Amino acid sequence: MSAAVIAATGLFTPPHSVSNAELVEAFNAYVALHNDDNAAAIASGEVAALIPSSVEFVEKASGIKSRYVMDKTGVIDPRVMRPNLPERPNDEISILAEIAVAATRDALGRWDKGPERIDAVICAASNMQRAYPAMAIEVQQALSIGGFGFDMNVACSSATFGIKTAADYIAAGDARAVLVVNPEITSGHLNFRDRDSHFIFGDVATAVIIEAADEATGGWDILGTRLKTQFSNNIRNNFGFLNRCAPDGIGAADKLFVQEGRKVFREVVPMVADMIVAHAADLGLDPTALKRLWLHQANINMNELIGRRVLGREPTREENVIILDEFANTSSAGSIIAFHRANDDFASGETGLICSFGAGYSAGTVFVRKR
């Protein structure tokens, strides 16, 4: 049985950044168009008037200031309100696999070995390009990686579930190194016409190479991994292959992301904080002695609360890394971006925590120690 190491990480950042001001301007232009088009029905009470969004609310409620998207033109056009991403022919790599490959190339540039040393690819993300063939196999093909690949979806927790799966393959002797990619084009399933959530998400891709400890030079020892799920209806997306079979017809809104944000906040914070503290105790680690938390990036107030409960003090920005101000919620990739961006200053023996949480509910903890 071989212990596993996080050997390298990589990041792909999409070409377009959208500020809160730009997003809110587009939303409010859409609201004005809707209210004008439906003036008579609104006056008679048949249709409810839409209410504008506000930059101040978005920043105060979430901490988000901007987000990256794969296509900005459609997102900020009040008559479109979704990214323009043309379909590709079957002989071209899919857009999600393409950004996963870009993040992987970044990770490979930070690793002392090549793709021929990777024996498995896991694409762990909250939305897949299609049912099959798997994106992971496209990535394998694009980078000439041997072995096997498959896709898995645990919403925002996909990356930590993927890292645990990879570490288990290594422990079982099934692979020398495993690539976990997290391509997230969340703008494809975000309802930019919904005032409650139009600002929440952003696009990105991350990659993590997990390697057998006895083959690795440097990197991060994985001290322990733990996963948890608990059913909740508070974050849903009902898009699926059976939609077209519903005899009564279907509404479109619930085939995009929907949530009860307040309930999620209230229920997930204690669940995750308790999980982290219990997992640390089982590993013989003092959570208050962790040098850094790389938490899932959904909401700054959530991260500050979890940080306080875990570290037992008001964490500094250095201890509790925030990247959601720039990236928004990038689903599975958030904690990996935070880790990727803020780990250079660790000395050998220092410990930290990668932690994700989200729909399901689901949560994953990965404690790491610099080698």
* Residue among 177 and 275 whose Cβ is closer to ligand CO8: 275
Residue 102 CB, nearest approach to ligand CO8 (Å): 20
The residue from 9, 20, 94, 126 that contacts ligand CO8 (CB under 6 A) is: 126
Contact between 299 and ligand CO8 per CB under 6 A: yes
Q: By the 8 A CB rule, do 259 and 282 touch?
A: no
Map the footprint of ligand CO8 across residues 38-67, applying CB under 6 A: 53-54, 57-58, 61-62
The residue from 166, 175, 258, 359 that contacts ligand CO8 (CB under 6 A) is: 359
> Cβ atoms within 10 A of the Cβ of 247, count?
5
Site string for ligand CO8, 196-225 (x = CB under 6 A): x----x------------------------
Q: For the purposes of burial, counting CB atoms within 10 Å of the CB of 241, is it exposed (0-12), middle (13-18) or buried (19 or more)?
A: exposed
Contact between 155 and ligand CO8 per CB under 6 A: yes
Residue 103 CB, nearest approach to ligand CO8 (Å): 17
156 assigned to active site: yes
Residue 185 CB, nearest approach to ligand CO8 (Å): 9
Map the footprint of ligand CO8 across residues 317-356, applying CB under 6 A: 329, 331
> Cβ atoms within 10 A of the Cβ of 255, count?
15
Residue 143 CB, nearest approach to ligand CO8 (Å): 25
The residue from 120, 139, 143, 156 that contacts ligand CO8 (CB under 6 A) is: 156
Contact between 365 and ligand CO8 per CB under 6 A: no
Contact between 235 and ligand CO8 per CB under 6 A: yes
Contact between 96 and ligand CO8 per CB under 6 A: no
Residue 66 CB, nearest approach to ligand CO8 (Å): 15
Question: Catalytic amino acids?
Answer: 156
Binding site for ligand CO8 (CB under 6 A): 53-54, 57-58, 61-62, 126-127, 155-156, 186, 189-190, 195-196, 201, 235, 257, 259, 261-262, 264-265, 298-299, 302, 329, 331, 358-359
